[in-house]
Structure 1
Amino acid sequence: MQKNSSLLAYSFVWALTIFLGIESCSLPEEWDGEWHDSSDTEQDITFTRSNSYVVGWKYSTFTVTSWTCVDQNTSNNLLLFRSNQTFFVFGQILRMYRCIKWENITQFSYSYLIYADKNVNLGGDRMFVRLDLTSVDISSGCNPTNGLPTTVETIVLIKKGYIQNAAQNCPTPFLGSFHYSFNDGSSTFCDGMSMWEVCTDQTQMVVNYNLCSTKQFYSNGGVAYCVYSTSVGRNHYVTVVNADSTVDFNTTFRFTCYAVTTSGGYVLASDNKGACVRDQTPQNKSATGTGTLTFSSNAGSTASPESSSINTVLIAGIVVGVLVMAAVVAAVVGVVLCKKKSKVRTQSNENGSERLG
């Protein structure tokens, strides 16, 4: 009876809040529709701008399937979403909040960070939880007490149907043609017989499954695009999107995030399903990843931009040197010929003078 009374009271307060127009939030116009979201590994998400509604962003701990945007700070690109579902903990009715700070990447892609503390009691996800009838706005719902998330935890949104339009150049360690070995934590695969390329199109990763069939970046087709990258110290963190026309969110997924570095002439990487996690390192298997990779350059592979630039400078220098030498030779030959012609003319003049005399 008490539980039903609480739910009835909440429903009345929430309806009154919406009716009086106390809530204030307007989603970006471009967001209307379906999106791939690297934080949700179970489904795509859908924004409905007309009512600031979001379907998606599931949390594993509690059944939350949809959200409503309730507040915003346009000058700082902050949006505060409230879960449309409540849950009970120790007899208390609770509600979840998700504050995001977003940035534009391309016309069809965005990145964002979740401004909330990691909740160790609720699966370690970043979330803000309050009693159901508590008033929460940008000031209280977007200020984590344990520090802001790092760029490593960046989440990527891509408009459904525009994956290739969201492509960005892959970071330098991934550029080239490589042999690779893959370790899932207990066994090693693809050692010696493998090919991973980011060559002609430096936004696109292509894995040759004919040489090694072990699936990479959760893809059946073996093609993915880099869509976001950041670096912290010597490590690069790159989000790639699976180019398969469809994924089943069971064995194939849309996003993978790699932590990448170079060491002793090799490229080392670990993967994570969805977005990268804060403690992810290139050398160690992530708890929610498939394993680690070791890349070695394939002989004759496409050079990185740095080495290409160096080669261009060297070639240009050689060409200039050859031209200069040719010019010098031409000048010397010209002087010699000129002296010979001058001598001939002098001799002719002398002979003519003798005949006239």
Structure 2
Amino acid sequence: MTTRMTTRRKLIAGVLMFLTVLGMQAGGAAAQAWPSRPIRVVVPLPPGGGADYLVRALAEPLRLALGQPILVENRVGADGRLGVEYVSKQPADGYTCLTVGTTNMAHPALFRNMTYDILKDFTPVGLIIRVPFALVVGPGVQAGSAQEYVTMARANPGKITFGSSGIGSPFHLAGELLKSMAGIDMLHVPYKGSGPITTALLSGEVMSAFAPLGPFLQQVRSGKLRALGILNGYRAAILPDLPTLEEAMSLPGFALDAWVGLLAPAGTPRTNIDRLNREIVRIVRDTQFAKEHLVRQSYEPLGSTPQEMGETMKSALALYAKIVREAKIPAE
């Protein structure tokens, strides 16, 4: 009797162990199966913009790499904040991601009632590209260099105008940073996009602008407009002879980088994040992809680790908060 009970217990224990191992294997297989359905990438800006173009260019090679469609969804509103808020509330399962850029890093300093924390509510996937910024002047401006521009601004306080794509935009804040570091006073003129800024520069309506270099490249190369310096902390590959403003004006620490990256809701499995990061890095660093989709937009491939993106975000948040505070830009 005792022997029979012992045998039964051993049999039950063996079955339980088998089921446990089977369950672990099934769980492992399920984890490895990601992705098993389409992945949504939310772009919190209108179709046709830089981030939208970038994600749509990545969609097909990512589909081939991951075996699932990449669905691009534009959720527009509140200067991009609505789309960010939406993704912050999505399941952390690796099937919803969000594009972000430098504009998003300024929002916490510009808006009081934020419904999300860009650091706590998201986990970085990685930086995808960086975008050269430039100080561009119109044909009527006599300054031939960044240093001459600053000298002219010092001699004419409050009379030098600079355009940007809007109050609180990275380009507006770049101008405020230059004002602070160079000790000059200039008048900000907000516009809606690069097209109106180009027209205003060519007509003399505004004297200068802080803007992405790409949309102005044709006019700069033709001599209709002049680029005096790169705002980023590196020289631009498309105009390698153009110095940074830090170099041109001997302003140590002057750098305002622009980039586009990908986030996922906080708590997304690390294996999913790492797989997505790996594929994006491989794609953007591919010479043919860069030539066809990035260089023509004046973008430079980046492909960072999630950790590097996290550190970049923290630095950008701190810098923009400092600029907004020192420029006394009121929060909405």
Give the TM-score taking structure 2 as reference length.
0.24
Q: Which one has the bigger helix percentage?
A: 2
More RCO (CA 8 Å, sep 6+): 2
Q: Which one has the bigger strand percentage?
A: 1
Give the TM-score taking structure 1 as reference length.
0.22
Structure with the greater alpha carbon radius of gyration: 1
